[in-house]
């Protein structure tokens, strides 16, 4: 019988964060929310190595900053979230370079998916190739009405290299994922919502405000419970149901020993709003 090893997600700790100097990514913080914006609108926010590196730096900072409780990821301009990889650079890549690039991109997206804090993709336009893969690594996806999604790598003689062959079937099912991956076709925001790729479709003017509203609703809850719940879902997706249930019970027990649990249950019984401390 297989067993599940319990590795708690990173604890919320007071870790000093260094100032970041970024060129291709805008990174700001306001209250409990960090904002990460891919800032290459002239090339539809295409991903190249420096941009991947800056995304990694921004999300590592957000992960280590105890004041940050959630992140909104979007693209600059009104045409694209991320329109995929920088094809010019990809055209010159050797097989070894391509595999190395794929592994690094996967590493960055694993960081986003397992940040220990919710990440909302505010999809403001094209989310193609690596852009669709980046969105899928986020906790929740909100899209504007004109957004378009796809994994068109086969049209370039490639296949998705940033987790698309793995995350897409888990989100929309094997059949729908294979149709998108093998055809290289694009779908609109409403179809993406219908198949489960997108959580909500909103008018462009409401995109960031809606993402903030969702995060603020999450931020009002106990920080440790949110972190463990995220980890339980993510790890549970990679195990059997029995192993996932064991993990859930272990995290349930860990949460029961926190000050936040005592505060949450006391507040409920006393009919008042809770004041969570993340302990």
- Which pLDDT belongs to residue 91? 82
- Which pLDDT belongs to residue 250? 96
Asked if the 223-269 domain carries CATH number 1.10.10.350, the reply is: no
User: What tens digit of pLDDT does each residue of 15-35 get?
Assistant: 334 468 899 999 999 999 999
Q: What is the dihedral of CA 222, 226, 232, 235, to 10 degrees?
A: -150
- Which pLDDT belongs to residue 87? 82
Closest CA to 265 of 222, 234, 216: 222
| Catalytically annotated residues | 133, 153
Query: The pTM is what?
Result: 0.91
Q: C-alpha angle 125/131/137, rounded to 5°?
A: 115
78 vs 227: CA distance, rounded Å: 32
Closest CA to 45 of 73, 26, 27, 24: 24
Q: Are 39 and 24 in contact (CB under 8 A)?
A: yes
Write the class of the CATH domain 25-219: alpha beta
- Which pLDDT belongs to residue 92? 84
201 vs 87: CA distance, rounded Å: 29
CA-to-CA separations, 195 to 109, 174, 189, 192, 234, in angstroms, rounded: 22, 12, 10, 5, 20
Rounded to 10 deg, the angle between the 241-256 and 223-236 helix axes is 170
Q: C-alpha angle 189/192/198, rounded to 5°?
A: 90
User: What tens digit of pLDDT does each residue of 80-126 get?
Assistant: 999 988 887 778 889 999 899 999 999 999 999 999 999 999 999 99
DSSP bridge partners of 70:
33
- Which pLDDT belongs to residue 275? 94
Task: Spell out, as residue ranges, where the chain has pLDDT lower than 50.
Answer: 1-18
Question: Which pair of structure tokens corresponds to residue 191?
Answer: 């179809």
List the domain boundaries for the chain: 25-219, 223-269
Q: Are 85 and 49 in contact (CB under 8 A)?
A: no
Q: What burial class does residue 49 get, using C-beta atoms within 10 Å of its C-beta: 0-12 exposed, 13-18 middle, 19+ buried?
A: middle
């Amino acid at each position: 019988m297989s067993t599940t090893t319990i590795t708690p997600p990173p604890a919320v700790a007071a870790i000093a964060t260094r100032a970041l100097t970024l060129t291709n990514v805008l990174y700001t913080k306001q209250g409990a929310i960090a904002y990460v914006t891919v800032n290459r609108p002239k090339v539809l926010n295409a991903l190249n190595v420096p941009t991947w590196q800056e995304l990694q730096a921004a999300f590592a900072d957000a992960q280590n900053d105890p004041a940050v409780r959630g992140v909104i990821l979007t693209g600059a301009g009104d045409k694209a979230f991320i329109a995929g990889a920088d094809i010019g650079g990809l055209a010159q890549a050797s097989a070894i370079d391509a595999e190395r690039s794929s592994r690094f991109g996967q590493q960055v997206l694993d960081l986003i998916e397992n940040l220990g804090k919710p990440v909302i993709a505010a999809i403001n336009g094209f989310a193609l190739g690596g852009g669709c893969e980046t969105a899928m690594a986020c906790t929740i996806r909100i899209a504007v009405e004109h957004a378009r999604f796809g994994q068109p790598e086969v049209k370039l003689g490639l296949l998705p290299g940033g987790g698309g062959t793995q995350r897409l079937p888990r989100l929309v099912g094997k059949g729908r994922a294979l149709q998108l991956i093998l055809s290289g076709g694009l779908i609109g925001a409403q179809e993406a919502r219908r198949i489960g790729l997108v959580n909500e479709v909103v008018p462009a003017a409401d995109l960031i405000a809606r993402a903030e509203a969702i995060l603020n609703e999450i931020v009002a809850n106990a920080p440790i419970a949110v972190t463990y719940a995220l980890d339980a879902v993510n790890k549970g997706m990679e195990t059997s149901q029995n192993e996932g249930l064991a993990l859930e019970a272990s995290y349930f027990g860990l949460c029961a020993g926190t000050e936040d649990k005592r505060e949450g249950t006391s507040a409920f019984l006393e009919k008042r709003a809770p004041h969570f401390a993340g302990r």
